[in-house]
């Protein structure tokens, strides 16, 4: 039995960025009971096992049935045939997901008579597929014994979740965000005092936030003080009364930082909440639906008590009875003053309640699992108290008239068939789907595809590509992968694993990147045109934009989704109907001024970026330049002679410096590490203070060294300081790797201290080297080739000659090994160097240090990830997949944004494709394309004539890719009018068409962009 998970294990590396160490430790001491492992229960169980709780008990008396195979992906046909217990079968598969979690099984029923004392051993109890009487009874017991309670259910296209964490539930961190911070420009002396942010940068605070102050000059009384604020504008906010004598006038500087504090939440019991529910509304276009589902769920429980069954599939008689029960409940005081109830929703609930719409089940399972993690960790804001999800749009009115389409056939797809009908089920089974990426979202999507039977009939097929290999850190959220799969391809492994869920799947796994390099060979336009739909499961914006562009060109719908920690988004992009992914541009990243990184860091992030760039420069770029120089200039004697004659050779100065300092032993590497410490953290500070003494003033009389500029303090090396020693060791490690020098294993700190004690550290000598102070320039001037003097060239030649005459030239000119940054290998010294360098630079500028985990995340551009968000997002986008296959109108689709930490779930109709009007009666969207077929003798003039006939406008520009085919403003291009298009486009054998861009002449100054043109060769 696992006692406490090792939170430093790389298995949890991405999750630790979301939850933090303290929450991980609390979770690793927690035990949870999960009752019912049907489709929803197994989804919840899978997610909390991946998260790494101490133990999970799975309780379920049910026997595996054919219906279960539609949603319970850990069961198979053999389990149904041999009538195995669902809990006993599921535990084996759940145990494979995480070796650190202890999993037990119970097969007894949880009913109205059993003894509940055994529940006292759990911190959280989760009920699914239980009666309302049992839910109330267990909830009452849990409240009286301090146990957190969750119940969740799926009926047809509807899902519901309820949470009760007691009267006083303390949350240590409500949102998981880093505390906000801003620099102060001015502080007024009045009641209340008003703070303006530095350079009109948005402060990001909210009214009632508690903040504290530091580094305020003048009004020093504020330093260390905490107060509640009121936001006045994005750039100003008021604080406490600063008009008193104890508050001296503000002179300059200061930093205001948000203070994060715990918050206590109070919950009502289930019995109270049944009558007057607190509902989280996710879709404001269906405001009455959550309350309608709530009333319908209660009515279903009453129906089952009376009839000992659920309503029959698509039975009008049973639907009327359910509506009658809802009316009875209202007369008993339920839902009064809560809102309107839709009878149509109640009827659809009755029709479909024996089914289970898998995508909604997956989404609800992810959200419910996150609530269970909140209950045992006290991290993030809990749900207050009900959430209902629905997929009403998948039920098309025309299909609903044909009730025979929804009847069961006693196969694994019955639960889905009840919800969408036989015709739509077959559309899914015959679907040709291309998914790009097979990581966390990809694994969840593959599971959803298997349960929904996508690509199982006729020519139906799933093609999935991912060029990545499985790493240990993937196992925590990419649930199809196991430890034995590490270093195997993701796509092929996922294909094998998902066929165990549904052997009928037709899957083609590939290991290619979808990019410009494969555009003409593996994934040409014809490949995309053969697909019915494309799904993105990517983790970077550039790749998403590229796939989006290819889908627009091929006129294929695209499903887009992504996650970052507890946040996620989905976007449905329907060909010819909605806007595309590229229609909305993210705001560009703000570049950090070069002078800020180089000399004037204001926060620890600046120090991290500096350290990351220093890593690349020292251990990757310079070794690469060294190799390039000596492979280009193989005649060393010629190099020496040319330099001695003051002839400039590109890269020679840097090559001579590297040759001069190139180490040959481990001790040499340690010495370099010690000298680099002095250069970066002592001499640099002294040089800044030499150029700008502390009393320096700017041209307008203001102090040069005032916030956000911080005066540096030269750091004195101390071998007893762990960070000082770590920097030297990490630097030595990297230089040793660059130069193929054996590193001691293990590295002995006493040996390092002995070596550094012998290093001759030169004193600082003042120079006139210019320091850049222009904050508007973000370019790295060091990356540009500097003009060197003749003396420097001669000196470089002399250095090279001296070294080659005294040392083995083959050895000193041996190729170096440039470092390739690898964040996940803690033994290579990469993160050690960046972490120690960033924090030492922080010490030098009196900036608060950051922990190694945070530095690793930022330096490694690591996207925080957690299985619960991934499951929820994949479920939500799978709902849209079904809608696209059904071919619905735009008002039926939903984009979504969620933040499970808050929790927030917002759904909205996607924006329509923007239509550009050329003239009255002639317009186009980015999805439209004009196809033109040209005969062999077809000329550019013929093309222009065709376009004028279509538009009545003159075409003034024709382009292909980056090539200008025709531009009216260029006189020489008039000669091209008589030339054949095949010549102008440089047609080759096998070319079938070219995609062109055009512009029409306008009466205004600006030309009119025309639609994309596909020019075919006949």
Give the whole-angstrom CA distance, residue 382 versus residue 41.
20
Listing DSSP states for 245-274 in one string gives TTSPPP-B--EEEEPP--EEE----HHHHH
Taking the C-alpha atoms of residue 429 and residue 456, their distance in angstroms, rounded to an integer, is 5
Of the candidates 717, 748, 71, 722, the one whose C-alpha atom is nearest the C-alpha of residue 418 is 71
Whether the CB-CB separation of 80 and 66 falls below 8 Å is answered with: yes
C-beta atoms surrounding 962 within 10 Å: 5
The angle at the Cα of 114, spanning 110 to 118, to the nearest 5 degrees, equals 85
Separation CA 931–CA 954 (nearest Å): 18
Task: Tell me the pairing of strands 461-465 and 507-510.
Answer: parallel
**Closest C-alpha among 1001, 1018, 998 to residue 1010:** 998
Give yes or no: 595 in active site.
Answer: yes
CA 412 to chain centre: 34
For residue 975, give every residue at least 6 positions away whose Cβ sits within 8 Å of its Cβ, in sequence order, or none. Answer: none
Can you list the pairs that 90-93 forms with residues at least 24 positions away whose Cβ atoms lie under 8 Å? 90/37, 90/42, 90/45, 90/58, 90/60, 91/58
Output b/e per residue, 681-694; b: 16+ Cβ within 10 A: bbbbbebbbbbbee
Tokens representing 782 are: 């060091």
C-alpha 742, offset from chain centre: 39
**How many Å apart are CA 254 and CA 182, to the nearest integer?**
9
- The DSSP call for residue 163 is E
Beta bridge partners of 104: 57
Contact, 605 vs 858, CB < 8 A?
Answer: yes
Q: H helices then E strands: how many in the chain?
A: 33, 33
Give the Cα separation of 618 and 672 in Å (integer): 12
Q: At what angle do helices 867-886 and 39-51 cross, to 10 degrees?
A: 140
> What is d(CA 714, CA 694) in angstroms, rounded to the nearest whole number?
13
Closest C-alpha to 466, from 487, 444, 435, 445: 435
For residue 463, whether the previous peptide bond is cis, meaning omega lies within 30 degrees of 0, is no
Segment (H or E) for 569: strand 567-573
The closest of 104, 106, 123 to 29, measured between CA atoms, is 123
List all residues 6 or more positions away from 929 whose beta carbon is below 8 Å from its beta carbon. 555, 1011, 1012, 1013, 1014
Report DSSP letters for 130-143, one per residue: --HHHHHHHHHHHH
597, 696, 765, 784 from 771: Cα distances, Å: 12, 14, 16, 16
Please pick, among 338, 595, 607, 671, the residue that the annotation labels catalytic: 595
In whole angstroms, what is the distance from residue 57 CA to residue 127 CA?
A: 12
The Cα 490–Cα 470 span in angstroms is 6
What DSSP letter does each residue of 375-411 carry, written as one string?
HHH-BSPPP-SEEEEE-GGGS-HHHHT-GGGG---SS
Pairing, β 230-233 against β 158-164: unpaired
| String of DSSP letters for 846-896 | T-----HHHHHHHHTT-----HHHHHHHHHHHHHHHHHHHHT--GGG--EE
Q: Give catalytic residues, as residue numbers.
A: 595
């Amino acid at each position: 039995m696992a006692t406490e998970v090792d939170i430093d294990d790389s298995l949890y590396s991405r999750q630790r960025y979301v939850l933090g160490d303290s929450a991980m430790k609390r979770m690793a001491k927690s035990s949870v009971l999960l009752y019912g492992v049907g489709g929803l229960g197994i989804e919840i169980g899978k997610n909390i096992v991946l998260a790494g709780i101490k133990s999970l008990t799975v309780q379920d008396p049910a026997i595996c049935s054919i219906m279960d195979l539609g949603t319970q992906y850990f069961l198979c046909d053999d389990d149904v045939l041999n009538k195995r217990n669902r809990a006993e079968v599921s535990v084996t598969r759940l145990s494979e997901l995480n070796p650190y979690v202890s999993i037990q099984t119970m097969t007894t029923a949880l009913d109205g008579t059993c003894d509940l004392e055994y529940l006292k051993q759990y911190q959280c109890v989760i009920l699914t597929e239980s009666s309302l009487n049992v839910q109330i009874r267990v909830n009452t017991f849990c409240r009286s014994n301090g146990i957190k309670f969750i119940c969740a259910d799926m009926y047809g296209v509807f899902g519901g979740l309820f949470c009760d964490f007691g009267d006083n539930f303390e949350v240590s961190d409500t949102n998981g965000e880093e505390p906000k911070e801003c620099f102060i420009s001015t502080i007024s002396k009045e009641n209340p005092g008003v703070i303006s942010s530095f350079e009109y940068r948005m402060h990001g605070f909210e009214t009632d936030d508690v903040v504290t102050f530091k580094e305020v000059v003048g009004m020093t009384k504020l330093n260390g003080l905490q107060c509640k604020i009121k936001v006045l504008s994005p750039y100003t906010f008021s604080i406490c009364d600063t008009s008193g004598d104890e508050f001296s006038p503000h002179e300059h500087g200061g930093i205001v930082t948000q203070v994060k504090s715990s918050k206590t939440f109070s919950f009502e019991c289930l019995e109270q909440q049944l009558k007057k529910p607190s509902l989280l509304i996710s879709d404001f276009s269906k405001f009455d639906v959550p309350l309608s589902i709530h009333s319908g769920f209660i009515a279903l429980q009453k129906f089952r008590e009376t009839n000992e069954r659920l309503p029959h599939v698509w039975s009008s008689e049973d639907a009327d009875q359910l509506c009658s029960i809802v009316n009875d409940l209202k007369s008993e005081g339920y839902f009064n003053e809560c809102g309107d109830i839709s009878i149509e929703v109640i009827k659809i609930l009755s029709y479909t309640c024996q089914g289970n719409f898998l995508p909604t089940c997956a989404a609800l399972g992810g959200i419910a699992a996150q609530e269970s993690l909140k209950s045992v960790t006290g991290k993030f804001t809990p749900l207050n108290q009900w959430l209902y999800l629905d997929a009403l749009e998948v039920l098309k009115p025309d299909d609903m008239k044909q009730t025979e389409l929804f009847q069961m056939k006693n196969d694994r797809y019955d639960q889905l068939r009840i919800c969408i009908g036989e015709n739509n089920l077959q559309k899914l089974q015959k679907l040709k789907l291309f998914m790009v990426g097979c990581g966390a979202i990809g694994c969840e999507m593959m599971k959803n595809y298997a349960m929904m039977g996508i690509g199982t009939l006729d020519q139906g097929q799933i093609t999935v590509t991912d060029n990545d290999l499985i790493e240990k850190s993937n196992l925590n959220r990419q649930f199809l992968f196991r430890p034995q799969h590490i270093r195997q391809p993701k796509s092929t492994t996922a294909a094998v694993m998902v066929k165990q869920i549904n052997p009928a799947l037709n899957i083609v796994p590939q290991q290619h990147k979808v990019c410009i390099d494969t555009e003409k060979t593996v994934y040409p336009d014809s490949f995309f045109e053969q697909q019915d739909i494309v799904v993105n499961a990517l983790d970077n914006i550039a790749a998403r934009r590229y796939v989006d562009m290819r889908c627009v060109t091929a006129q294929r719908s695209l499903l887009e989704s992504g996650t970052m920690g507890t946040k996620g988004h989905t976007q449905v992009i329907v060909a010819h109907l909605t806007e595309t992914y590229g229609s909305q541009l993210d705001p560009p990243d703000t570049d950090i001024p070069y002078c800020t990184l180089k000399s004037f860091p204001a926060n620890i992030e600046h120090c991290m970026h500096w350290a990351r760039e220093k890593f690349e420069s020292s251990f990757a770029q310079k070794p690469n330049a060294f190799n390039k120089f000596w492979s280009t200039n193989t005649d060393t004697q010629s190099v020496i002679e040319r330099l001695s004659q003051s002839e400039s050779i590109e890269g020679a100065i840097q090559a001579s410096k590297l040759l001069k300092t190139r180490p040959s032993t481990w001790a040499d590497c340690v010495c370099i590490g010690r000298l680099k410490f002095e250069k970066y953290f002592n001499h640099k500070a002294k040089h800044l203070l030499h150029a700008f003494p502390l009393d320096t003033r700017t041209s307008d009389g203001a102090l040069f060294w005032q916030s956000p500029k911080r005066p540096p303090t030269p750091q004195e090396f101390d071998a007893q300081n762990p960070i000082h020693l770590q920097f030297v060791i990490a630097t030595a490690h990297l230089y040793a790797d660059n130069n193929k020098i054996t590193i001691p294993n293990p590295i002995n700190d006493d040996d390092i201290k002995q070596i550094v004690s012998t290093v001759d550290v030169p004193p600082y000598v003042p120079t006139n080297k210019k320091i850049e102070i222009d904050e508007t320039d973000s370019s790295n001037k060091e990356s540009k080739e500097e003009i060197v003097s003749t003396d420097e060239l001669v000196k470089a030649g002399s250095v090279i000659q001296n070294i080659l005459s005294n040392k083995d030239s083959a050895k000193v000119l041996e190729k170096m090994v440039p470092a390739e940054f690898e964040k996940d290998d803690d033994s290579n010294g990469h993160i050690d160097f960046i972490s120690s360098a960033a924090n030492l630079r922080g010490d030098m500028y009196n900036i608060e240090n950051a922990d190694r985990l945070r530095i690793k995340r930022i330096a490694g551009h690591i996207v925080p990830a957690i299985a619960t968000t991934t499951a929820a997002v994949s479920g939500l986008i799978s709902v849209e997949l079904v809608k696209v296959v059904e071919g619905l109108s735009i008002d039926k689709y939903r984009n979504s944004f969620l933040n499970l930490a808050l929790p927030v779930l917002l759904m909205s109709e996607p924006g329509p494709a923007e239509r550009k009007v050329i003239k009255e009666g002639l317009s186009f969207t980015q999805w439209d394309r004009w196809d033109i077929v040209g005969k062999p003798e077809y000329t550019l003039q013929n093309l222009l004539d065709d376009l004028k006939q279509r538009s009545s406008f003159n075409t003034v520009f024709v382009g292909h890719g980056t090539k200008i085919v025709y531009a009216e403003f260029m006189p020489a291009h008039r000669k091209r009018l008589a030339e054949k298009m095949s010549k102008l486009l440089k047609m080759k054998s096998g070319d079938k068409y070219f995609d062109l861009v055009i512009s029409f002449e306008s009466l205004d100054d600006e030309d009119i962009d025309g639609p994309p043109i596909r020019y075919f060769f006949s």
